Structures are given as structure tokens and as C-alpha cells.
């Protein structure tokens, strides 16, 4: 995946704070601890791709970055267990929540990468690479191969869902409807905007129809001119 890692991490963190950790976190945006957990989730969601910097600038062999330890599930599973144990030993539930959220977001990153990339889920027991779909190298620029593949729609869906939840579209729409019912001035403004927008759409549609008709007429005239020219040439 290219764009959906952070949005996926946001969705996972939001889910965790309202289910698994709901007794320890007040999931309000103004809550400092909730902000810390959300930050950890977002960082964890993109953390495995930090190895791409090493791949580009420091690895002389240009090893595929999914082969680095940062893209091995065993690393993040081990860190998750270590975080839980450490939190229990020091009786610090806040540390456990923050660190586990980051590790689970990193694991979700690997799950998302498995859709079109290869991830070594059984390493070190087995070096078999797993992926769900393969993306063909049609274009020279590797990013374009992913953008043109149908699985990119999955990324768009994840990003769209995260945006809808983050922007609180449902609450915003309900508030706008409340204002619309209460304010006569707002209804008047929206009515005038609707009339103007409708007029613009009608003008554009008429223009497109006229252009299409003129184009067909010109095409017919061009064909007739060619026929006449051919007849005279013979």
C-alpha cells in the first residue's frame, strides 16, 4: 500500500480506544492521553516503512525493503508481548496501551502490505513470502503500477472512511440541517446558490449538446467534401 497506512492506523486506534481500552481512555479529542495513544497508533502505522530510507541511501545491494526486520511480523509480535509484560511488571497500564497500540498498528501495516506486496509471515520458521494479489510491472515507474491496479480502490476506501470519521461528517451534516431548519437567511442563501448552480449546469449541458451537434455537422460536411473531391478527381 502507498497511502492508506496512516488512515488504517487511525481507524484501528479509534477502534481500540472504544473497545479494548475503553475503560482506561476517554476517547475525546481534547483528552491528552487519547491524543498520545492516537499519535502512537499513527506512528506505528508508518514505522515499518522507515526501512525504505536505508534501502534508498545506505543499502549497497538494494535489498527489497520488505525483507528487512522492520517488515517481519515476528518483530512486532515480540514487541507487543514485551510491552504487555513490561507494563504488568511496572504496573503502568498507560505504557502498555501506548506501546501495544503502536505495535498493533505496525502489524496492521504488514497486513495491508500483504494485499499486493510480499510479507514473510512465518519467518524465521519459514522463508515463504505471502501476498494476496500480484501487481504486474507494466510501467517503468513502480508507483504507477500500484496506482493503475484495481486494488488501489481498497486504499481509496480506507482513506475515505478515515476522512469521514475524522471530519465527523455525520455530526456536521446533522448540525447543518439544524441550522437550515432554524435560519431563514441560510435557507435563502442556499436557495439562491442552488438556482445559480442549476443555471450554470444547464448552460454547460446546452453548450456540450450544441458542440456535439456542430461536431457531427462538420464531420458530415467533411465527408461530403471528400466525396465531391474524389468525384471531380476521377
Give the pLDDT confidence of 118-171 residue by residue, as tens digits: 999 999 999 999 999 988 888 877 788 888 889 999 999 999 999 989 888 777
Residues in the chain: 234
Cis peptide before 124 (omega within 30 of 0): yes
Q: What is the pLDDT of residue 126?
A: 92
What is the Cα–Cα distance from 214 to 70, expressed in whole angstroms? Answer: 61
**C-beta of residue 37 within 8 angstroms of C-beta of residue 13:** yes
Average pLDDT on 183-192 reads: 81
Q: Does 225 score more than 70 pLDDT?
A: no
pLDDT digits (tens, 9 = 90+) for 27-69: 787 889 999 999 999 999 999 999 988 888 888 888 888 999 9
Q: Does 78 score more than 90 pLDDT?
A: yes
What is the Cα–Cα distance from 105 to 41, expressed in whole angstroms? Answer: 6
Q: What is the pLDDT of residue 227?
A: 58
Q: What is the pLDDT of residue 231?
A: 60
Threshold 0.85, pTM exceeds: no
Query: Measuring CA to CA, how many Å separate 114 from each of 67, 108, 120, 191?
Result: 13, 10, 9, 49
Whose grid coordinates read 499513527?
A: 42
What is the Cα–Cα distance from 213 to 222, expressed in whole angstroms? Answer: 14
Report which of 148, 147, 168 is spatially closest to residue 3, judged by C-alpha positions: 147
Residue 229 pLDDT class (50, 70, 90 cuts) = low
pLDDT digits (tens, 9 = 90+) for 91-121: 999 999 999 999 999 999 999 999 998 999 9
Radius of gyration of the CA atoms of the chain, in A? 28
Higher pLDDT, residue 211 or 112: 112
Amino acid at each position: 500500500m502507498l497511502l492508506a497506512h496512516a488512515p488504517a492506523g487511525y481507524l484501528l486506534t479509534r477502534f481500540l480506544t472504544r473497545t479494548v481500552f475503553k475503560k482506561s481512555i476517554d476517547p475525546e479529542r481534547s483528552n491528552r492521553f487519547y491524543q498520545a495513544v492516537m499519535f502512537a497508533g499513527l506512528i506505528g502505522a508508518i514505522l515499518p516503512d522507515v526501512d525504505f530510507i536505508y534501502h534508498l541511501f545506505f543499502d549497497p545491494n538494494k535489498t527489497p525493503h520488505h525483507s528487512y526486520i522492520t517488515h517481519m511480523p515476528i518483530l512486532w509480535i515480540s514487541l507487543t508481548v514485551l510491552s504487555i509484560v513490561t507494563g504488568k511488571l511496572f504496573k503502568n497500564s498507560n505504557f502498555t496501551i501506548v506501546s501495544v497500540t503502536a505495535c498493533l498498528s505496525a502489524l496492521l501495516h504488514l497486513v495491508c502490505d500483504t494485499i499486493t506486496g510480499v510479507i514473510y509471515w512465518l519467518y524465521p520458521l519459514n522463508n515463504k513470502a505471502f501476498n494476496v494479489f500480484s501487481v504486474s510491472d507494466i510501467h517503468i515507474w513502480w508507483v504507477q503500477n500500484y496506482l493503475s491496479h484495481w486494488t488501489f480502490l481498497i486504499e481509496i476506501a480506507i482513506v475515505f472512511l478515515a476522512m469521514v470519521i475524522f471530519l465527523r461528517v455525520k455530526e456536521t451534516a446533522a448540525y447543518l440541517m439544524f441550522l437550515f431548519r432554524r435560519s431563514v437567511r441560510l435557507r435563502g442563501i442556499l436557495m439562491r446558490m442552488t438556482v445559480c448552480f442549476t443555471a450554470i449546469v444547464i448552460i454547460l449541458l446546452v453548450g456540450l449538446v450544441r458542440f456535439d451537434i456542430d461536431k457531427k455537422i462538420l464531420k458530415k460536411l467533411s465527408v461530403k467534401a471528400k466525396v465531391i473531391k474524389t468525384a471531380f478527381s476521377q
